[in-house]
Amino acid sequence: MIVTGAALPTIIRNESLRLGFDLCRFTPISEAPHADFFDAWIDAGRAGEMSYLERNREKRRFPARLAEPPAAPFQTMVVLGVDYHQYELPPALRDDPSRGVIASYAWGDDYHEIIRPLLYELDALIRTHTGRTSLGKCLVDTGPVLERDWAAAAGLGFTGKNCCTIRPGWGSWLLLAVLLIPEKLSDPASAVAAGPQPAMRKTMTCGRCTRCLVACPTAAFVGAYDLDPQRCISYWTIESRSIIPRALRPRFGNRIFGCDICQEVCPYNRRLPERTPWLAGLHAHPARVAPPLLEGFEPARPYWLDQAAFSAHFARSPIKRAKRAGMLRNVCVALGNWADAAIVPALTQALHDPEPVVRVHAAWAAGRVLAKWTHAPAAAWLSAALDREPDARVRDELHLALAGIP
């Protein structure tokens, strides 16, 4: 039966809840409200190594053009949200320098792989009810769409000063997904129309609060609503494959994949009840919450050192995005910030890693140990590492370590 009019949004919303989404809103597709800001942000070089953000600018500005001819242009965006909040990380774990803190969205399986099939199911249901034969566009952080713009346009939440989508009563622990369809839908629950939002309105939403801006350990916020990824812990520990600037490393603390600090301090996220996500794949794996840093160097589970062990240990995890070398680099930074003499054997192994980016950070961490402790064996093997090291960047770091420059 072909369904039109006001009944279709209700059918879609009910099906989205059945599939496991927590929020479902609709908005007409027009020009992305903050496309000019995004283009200026890109032109300023903020994207760093995220070159994919520079592609498809016109489609990002006008998402209707994501439809591939001869299919009709997209007219409606179904904006969906998944609440992934589970519990606050106990301070005894979060503040333990011997453990590596992982962003809470990565405690479970990769949400992209969990949510994408659900979008396909939702689009199939819509096609069944409308008779449409062309496919909708299903995106989970994987296409040229400014999701937070459209979440605000649909009334799902507002963009906070920490650049996260915030929904009062829910906080910012939201995963966003969108489904673009050619059907023109109106939905009384999505009362906020698409279009430019006055800057004052956004400022009033967060009020005078600047907790996220002040709490950021690397000063990654240029200002409210303006993040410089190249100073952001999440960027360096997830997206970048390069050497982390020396000045930033001490500020990372023990965060080895992502960073939730600007969300943890947000008043909208305070005192949220513990919950279990509807989608079982998002449930936290205890081994991925705050693992002991030295665990992955053990002979029985060398997942920091061996690719096969890494792939097995982090099967279905978003942590695989950083790759083994990237994660070991991050772990070396955390070990250097711990700087306990107990880390020396692990750093010895890391200094033999085939990837220079790992050896650079292992040398830095070893230098932090030498600056804190008298450790003759460590100085000896650093000298031996310097004698055999072919990479100039690693050699520079080894020289600094041996000179006692942390």
> Ramachandran region of residue 127, left (φ > 0), alpha (ψ -120 to 50) or beta?
alpha
Between CA 299 and CA 172 the distance in angstroms is: 39
Q: How far apart are the first and last CA of the chain?
A: 70
Task: Note every long-range contact of 301-305, with CB atoms under 8 Å and residues 24 or more positions apart, other chains counting.
Answer: 304/328, 304/331, 304/350, 305/349, 305/350, 305/353
Do 163 and 227 meet the contact criterion of CB atoms below 8 Å apart?
yes
Q: DSSP character for 143?
A: S
3-state SS assignment for residue 165: strand
DSSP, residue by residue, 21-80:
-SEEEEEE--S-TTHHHHHHHHHTTTTTT-GGGGS-HHHHH-GGGGSPTTSPPP-EEEEE
- Residue 83 catalytic? no
Q: With beta carbons less than 8 A apart as the criterion, state whether 140 and 30 touch.
A: no
Q: Which long-range contacts (CB under 8 A, 24 or more apart) does 244-251 make?
A: 244/329, 244/333, 244/361, 246/364, 248/218, 249/333, 249/336, 249/337, 249/361, 249/364, 250/336, 250/337, 250/406, 251/217, 251/218
Cα(232)–Cα(229) distance, rounded to whole angstroms? 5
Write down the catalytic residue from 141, 226, 306, 391: 141
Tokens 């990479």 correspond to what residue?
391
DSSP summary character for residue 107: S
Element (H, E) at 14: helix 7-19
Residues acting as catalytic residues = 141
